[in-house]
């Protein structure tokens, strides 16, 4: 992570683009940013055109001035490499850097994140620029971290990528026969004879649009998704290696985007010194959903703190509806990030742009140009609070979760590429049902990958585990045998990592662990549902209904109607010393809550607090003790009864066990538990 030991506070600031403004305003910027209690600036995110006006000329004169200005004014820097958007001359002279879209159209110069990740020209110039920047500013001791490129993303389908895809496949499969087998190419007479027969799967080959990208050959599309993610990762690694070589003492990262489908962040995060991400919820995203994204980002480094690198202070420009964050919500969402593991609070951007598509994006300094604005005041107050109240108290703290939810990018790609059983199958949505129930019950949850160890968890939930990778069934089997509790759902265990069906009955290799055999799956249209009883309540069965037989498991619920009335829908199996639950359909929130509550009670997993829904609660621990975060996302005041003695570090108020603590709308309390610090 960033050397928070030296910095001793939650870094506060964000993207600053003074090169887009006349120099006359720079001094005023410095005054206002200091007034806002900002201490870190992300610089040089999109400056390639300025830094390299042609093939042979580099011009650092303006960036030198900016670096000096910022250092002289005492700011720390997240230094970016500017390779997220290439200059126009490069596209004009070297069209190989331009991406080709899924529809086969080669793009012209425009937008950003626009370079083909496999273009040798792009890689050469990106590396050269990175090296020059690193050499030039290596001695700036206010650089806290390198920020490589910006928000990698997108997919390229150019011929260059196609060539590289063949090489990537050769390395992975060695023989063309192995490729034919992995992709099941004797279907529709697709047998490939030669590596040259392989083309990028796109809208002019195997893929088609049907409310999202679908494909006739899941195997090839899946490998292309992996290859594209790897190609961009290669670009990142080229820059990272240069930076680490020149400044081994400065950590390197890039900004992630939460649940972002195109890049396998679990694979990427291994190459990052710490994880950082940009949090831009839609105005109507549920707090639980935002919390889940934070937990996913924290999970990428097995629970280590992450950096909140961007959020808007007030409003976005790129959502369909750019609703203002209500008073207090910027603070509330900033602390929500901290509550889930963030050790920085940062914004995009410091000064609102003059033109182009981000001119109406929120900023610390608005177009009016002075500090007398609601947004500025909120930012200033928050900055002061971080400086005077939070200090370094929570830095480096970890969470202690007994529950894990599995999230796997390959499974995301594969389950949604699948033709059938329903195009409404949505992996993140399924994961969210389980996450949200636990969130509402105030349980701490880790979002883990298939590589993470399970032994520390009492409950592991793997919703919609359509793809069960080689060996993962064994990992679950061992975990359950040794006393763990596992839960999975409909559409699980169907395929291996090539998207080839595991024959012998669904859910494939998970069958013995779950003690069931799923014979068929009935997809229901939106207007139809089945139902089942659980603890005296009726719950709907939507989307997909498994028709299953018990093979040792116990039936907990059965369908109420249709030709499979009476067949089990929710089951529980004793396996070794543990338990394996199966939920054979999508149902409603109240079921997930009641069901997970019952499981947690049975396993004696304690929530962070005992309180009704509406308040968010997390617990972070470090040598300074245990910090209970309470966040009120509702419009009403909320009362929580303290379970132990503690002190609210934001207000200084002390509480005894049993005392009520009242949080107003959008308010936050951070309670340091008395006696919890390490002696």
Q: Judged by CB, which is closer to Zn ion: 121, or 622? A: 121
Choose the one of ligand GLA, Zn ion, none that binds residue 1, judging by a C-beta under 5 to 8 angstroms depending on kind. none
Name the nearest CA neighbour of 577 among 598, 595, 603, 600. 603
Q: Is 264 in the site for ligand GLA (CB under 6 A)?
A: no
**Residue of 161, 64, 44 whose CA lies nearest to 104:** 161
Helix ranges (H only) for 354-498 are 374-385, 409-417, 427-440, 472-481
**Two structure tokens written together for 307:** 């950096």
E strands, 490-592, in order: 516-523, 530-534, 537-550, 554-558, 568-575, 578-583, 585-586
Query: Minimum CB separation from Zn ion for residue 161, in Å?
Result: 3
For ligand GLA, the closer of residues 187 and 318 by Cβ is: 318
Q: In this structure, what are the phi and psi dihedrals at residue 348, rounded to the nearest 5 degrees?
A: -110, 115
344 touches 295 (CB < 8 A): no
Contact call for residue 360 and ligand GLA (CB under 6 A): no
Beta carbon nearer to ligand GLA, 29 or 408: 29
144 to 183, contacts with Zn ion by CB under 5 A?
156, 158, 160-161
Q: Helices in 566-678 by DSSP H: which ranges?
A: 589-603
151 is catalytic: yes
Rounded least distance, CB 229 to Zn ion, Å: 14
By beta-carbon proximity to Zn ion, the closer residue of 159 and 551 is 159
Report, in Å, the least distance between residue 282 CB and ligand GLA: 12
Near ligand GLA by CB under 6 A, which window of 73-81, 310-318, 442-450, 520-528? 310-318
Q: Find the binding residues for Zn ion in span 94-133 (CB under 5 A).
A: 116
Nearer to ligand GLA, 151 or 416 (CB): 151
Strand duo 143-147 + 76-80: pairing: parallel
513 CB-near residues (< 8 Å, 6+ apart): 473, 476, 477, 480, 486, 573, 575, 580
- Residue closer to ligand GLA (CB basis): 252 or 567: 252
Would you give the DSSP letter of residue 353? -
Told to judge if 385 belongs to the known catalytic residues of this protein, a careful annotator would answer: no
The number of C-alpha atoms within 13 Å of 640 and in the hemisphere containing its C-beta is 26
Residue 223 in contact with ligand GLA, rule: CB under 6 A: no
Give min distance, CB of 308 to ligand GLA, in A.
12
What does 114 interact with, of ligand GLA, Zn ion, none (CB < 5 to 8 A by kind)? none
CA angle in degrees (0–180, nearest 5) for 460-461-462: 120
3-state secondary structure of 74: coil
Q: CA angle, corner 104, sides to 103 and 105, nearest 5?
A: 95
Interaction partner, residue 348 (Zn ion, ligand GLA, none; CB < 5-8 Å by kind): ligand GLA
| Closest by Cα among 211, 200, 136 to 165 | 200
Q: Which of Zn ion, ligand GLA, none has residue 150 at its interface (CB below 5 to 8 Å by kind)?
A: ligand GLA
Contact between 310 and ligand GLA by CB under 6 A: the answer reads: yes
**Contact partner at residue 116 from Zn ion, ligand GLA, none, CB < 5 to 8 Å by partner kind:** Zn ion
Q: Does 348 bind ligand GLA (CB under 6 A)?
A: yes
Which three-class secondary structure state does DSSP give residue 287?
A: helix
Q: Of the listed 239, 310, 430, 626, which one is catalytic?
A: 310
Site string (27-46) toward ligand GLA, x via CB under 6 A: ------------------x-
| Tokens 């060539």, located at residue | 163
Q: Name the helix (H) or strand (E) containing 628.
A: strand 625-632
Binding partner of residue 361 among Zn ion, ligand GLA, none, CB cut-off 5 to 8 Å per kind: ligand GLA
Query: What is d(CA 605, CA 464) in angstroms, rounded to the nearest whole number?
Result: 23
Selected binder of ligand GLA within 361, 432, 511, 633 (CB under 6 A): 361
One residue of 130, 221, 316, 411 binding ligand GLA per CB under 6 A: 316
Interface with ligand GLA: number of residues (CB under 6 A) = 12
- Which residue, among 345, 218, 215, 329, has the nearest Cα to 278 in the 3D structure? 345
Q: Which is nearer to ligand GLA, 46 or 534 (CB)?
A: 46
Determine which residue in the list 17, 42, 118, 150 makes contact with ligand GLA, applying CB under 6 A. 150
Q: How many CB atoms lie within 10 A of CB 279?
A: 22
Interface with Zn ion by CB under 5 A: which residues? 116, 156, 158, 160-161
Write out the residues near ligand GLA by the rule CB under 6 A.
Answer: 45, 150-151, 255, 278, 280, 310, 316, 318, 348, 358, 361
Residues annotated as catalytic are: 151, 310
């Amino acid at each position: 992570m960033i050397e928070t030991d030296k910095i001793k506070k939650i870094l506060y600031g964000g993207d600053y683009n003074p090169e887009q403004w006349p120099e006359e305003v720079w001094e005023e910027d410095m005054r206002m940013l200091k007034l806002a209690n900002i201490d870190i600036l992300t610089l040089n995110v999109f400056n390639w055109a300025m830094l390299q006006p042609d093939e042979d000329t580099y011009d650092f004169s303006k960036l030198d001035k900016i670096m000096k200005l910022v250092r002289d004014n005492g700011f720390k820097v997240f230094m970016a490499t500017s390779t997220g958007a290439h200059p126009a001359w490069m596209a004009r002279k070297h069209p190989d850097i331009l991406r080709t879209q899924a529809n086969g159209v080669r793009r012209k110069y425009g937008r950003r994140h626009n370079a083909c990740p496999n273009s040798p020209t792009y890689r050469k110039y990106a590396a050269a620029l990175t090296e020059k920047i690193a050499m030039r500013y290596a001695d700036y001791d206010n650089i806290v971290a390198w920020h490589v490129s910006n928000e990698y993303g997108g997919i390229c389908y150019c011929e260059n990528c196609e060539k590289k895809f063949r090489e990537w496949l050769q390395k992975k499969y060695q023989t063309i026969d192995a490729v034919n087998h992995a992709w099941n190419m004797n279907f529709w007479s697709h047998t490939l004879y030669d590596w040259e027969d392989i083309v990028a799967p796109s809208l002019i080959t195997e893929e088609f649009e049907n409310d999202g990208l679908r494909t006739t050959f899941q195997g090839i599309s899946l490998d292309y998704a992996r290859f594209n993610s790897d190609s961009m990762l290669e670009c990142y690694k080229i820059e990272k290696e240069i930076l680490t070589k020149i400044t081994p003492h400065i950590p390197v990262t890039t900004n992630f985007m939460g649940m972002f489908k195109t890049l396998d962040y679990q694979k990427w995060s291994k190459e990052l010194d710490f994880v950082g991400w940009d949090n831009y919820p839609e105005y109507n995203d549920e707090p639980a959903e935002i919390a889940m994204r934070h937990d996913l980002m924290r999970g990428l480094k097995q629970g280590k703190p992450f950096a909140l690198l961007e959020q808007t202070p007030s409003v976005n420009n790129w959502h369909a509806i750019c609703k203002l964050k209500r008073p207090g919500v910027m603070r509330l969402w900033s602390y929500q990030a901290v509550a889930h593991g963030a050790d920085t609070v940062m914004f995009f951007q410091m000064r609102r742009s003059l033109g182009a598509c981000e001119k109406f994006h929120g900023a610390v300094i608005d177009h009016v140009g002075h500090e007398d604005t609601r947004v500025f005041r909120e930012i200033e107050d928050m900055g002061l609070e971080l400086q005077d109240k939070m200090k370094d108290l929570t830095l480096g703290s970890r969470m202690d979760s007994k529950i894990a939810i599995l999230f796997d990018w390959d499974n995301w790609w594969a389950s949604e590429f699948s033709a059938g059983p329903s195009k409404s199958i949505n992996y993140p949505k399924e994961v969210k049902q389980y996450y949200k129930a636990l969130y509402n019950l105030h349980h701490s949850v880790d979002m883990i990958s298939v590589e993470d160890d399970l032994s520390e968890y009492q409950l592991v939930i793997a919703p919609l585990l359509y793809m069960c990778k080689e060996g993962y069934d064994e990992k679950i089997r061992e975990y359950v045998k040794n006393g763990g509790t596992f839960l999975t759902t409909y559409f699980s265990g169907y395929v291996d990592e090539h998207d080839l069906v595991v024959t012998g009955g669904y859910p494939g290799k998970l069958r013995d662990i779950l003690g069931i055999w799923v014979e068929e799956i009935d997809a229901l249209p939106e207007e139809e549902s089945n139902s089942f009883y659980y603890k005296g309540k009726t719950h709907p069965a939507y989307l997909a209904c498994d028709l299953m037989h018990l093979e040792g498991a116990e039936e907990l619920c059965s369908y109420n109607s249709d030709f499979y009335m009476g067949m089990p829908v929710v089951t529980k199996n004793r396996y070794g010393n543990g338990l394996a639950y199966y939920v054979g359909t999508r149902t409603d929130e109240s079921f997930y809550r009641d069901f997970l509550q019952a499981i947690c009670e049975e396993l004696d997993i304690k929530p962070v607090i005992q309180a009704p829904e509406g308040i968010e609660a997390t617990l972070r621990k470090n040598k300074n003790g245990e910090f209970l975060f309470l966040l009120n996302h509702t419009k009403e005041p909320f009362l929580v009864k303290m379970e132990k003695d503690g002190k609210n570090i934001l207000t200084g108020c002390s509480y005894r066990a049993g005392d009520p603590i009242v949080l107003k709308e959008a308010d936050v309390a951070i309670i340091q538990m008395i006696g919890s610090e390490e002696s």
